[in-house]
Chain A
Amino acid sequence: MPWDRNQMAERAAQELEDGMYVNLGIGIPTLVANYTGDKDITLQSENGMLGMGPFPYEGDEDPDLINAGKQTITELDRTAYFDSATSFGMIRGGKIAVAILGAMEVAENGDLANWMIPGKLVKGMGGAMDLVAGVGRVVVVMDHQNKKGESKLLRACTLPLTGTGVVDRVITNLGVLDVVEGGLKIVETAPGVTEDDLRAATEATIV
Chain B
Amino acid sequence: MQKIYDDAASALDGLLRDGMLIAAGGFGLCGIPELLLSAIRDAGPKNLTFASNNAGVDDFGIGILLATRQVSKMMSSYVGENAEFMRQYLEGELEVEFNPQGTLAERMRAGGAGIPGFYTKTGVGTQIAEGKEHKDFPTGPDGAPETYILERGIVADLAIVKAWKADDTGNLIFRKTARNFNVPAAMCGRVCVAEVEEIVPRGSLDPDHIHLPGVYVHRLVQGDHEKRIEQRTTRKKESA
Report A's interface with B, CB cutoff 8 A: 45-49, 54-67, 69-73, 75, 81-89, 91-92, 111, 121-130, 133-134, 160-165
**Count of chain B residues near A, Cβ 8 A:** 55
A56 to B236, CA, bound (A): 9
Report whether B123 and A64 are in contact in the complex, using a CB–CB cutoff of 8 Å.
no
Report whether A83 and B181 are in contact in the complex, using a CB–CB cutoff of 8 Å.
yes
Report whether A72 and B234 are in contact in the complex, using a CB–CB cutoff of 8 Å.
yes
Supposing A47-B30, A55-B233 touch, asked if A126 and B77 sit within 8 A by C-beta, the answer is: yes
Cross-interface CB contact of B98 among A48, A111, A122, cutoff 8 Å? A122
Report whether A92 and B121 are in contact in the complex, using a CB–CB cutoff of 8 Å.
yes
* B contact face: mostly helix, strand, loop, or mixed: loop
Please name 13 pairs of A and B residues whose Cβ atoms are closer than 8 Å in the assembled complex, sorted by A: A47-B177, A61-B234, A62-B176, A64-B30, A66-B231, A70-B30, A71-B231, A88-B105, A121-B80, A124-B78, A125-B78, A129-B123, A161-B127
Cross-interface CB contact of B177 among A65, A111, A126, A160, cutoff 8 Å? A65
Say yes or no: is B31 at the interface (Cβ < 8 Å to chain A).
Answer: yes
Residues of A within 8 A of B228 (CB): 63
Report whether B30 and A125 are in contact in the complex, using a CB–CB cutoff of 8 Å.
no
A161 to B102, CA, bound (A): 17
Report whether A162 and B179 are in contact in the complex, using a CB–CB cutoff of 8 Å.
no
Report whether A123 and B80 are in contact in the complex, using a CB–CB cutoff of 8 Å.
yes
A126 to B128, CA, bound (A): 13
Report whether B27 and A47 are in contact in the complex, using a CB–CB cutoff of 8 Å.
yes
A54 to B233, CA, bound (A): 10
Query: CB-nearest residue of chain B relative to A66?
Result: B30
Report whether A58 and B227 are in contact in the complex, using a CB–CB cutoff of 8 Å.
no
Report whether B177 and A81 are in contact in the complex, using a CB–CB cutoff of 8 Å.
yes
Supposing A85-B183, A92-B102 touch, asked if A49 and B234 sit within 8 A by C-beta, the answer is: no
Say yes or no: is B114 at the interface (Cβ < 8 Å to chain A).
Answer: no
Report whether B124 and A164 are in contact in the complex, using a CB–CB cutoff of 8 Å.
yes
Query: CB-nearest residue of chain A relative to B181?
Result: A84
A45 to B183, CA, bound (A): 17
Supposing A84-B101, A163-B126, A164-B125 touch, asked if A70 and B77 sit within 8 A by C-beta, the answer is: no
Report whether A130 and B125 are in contact in the complex, using a CB–CB cutoff of 8 Å.
no
Residues of A within 8 A of B30 (CB): 47, 63-64, 66, 70
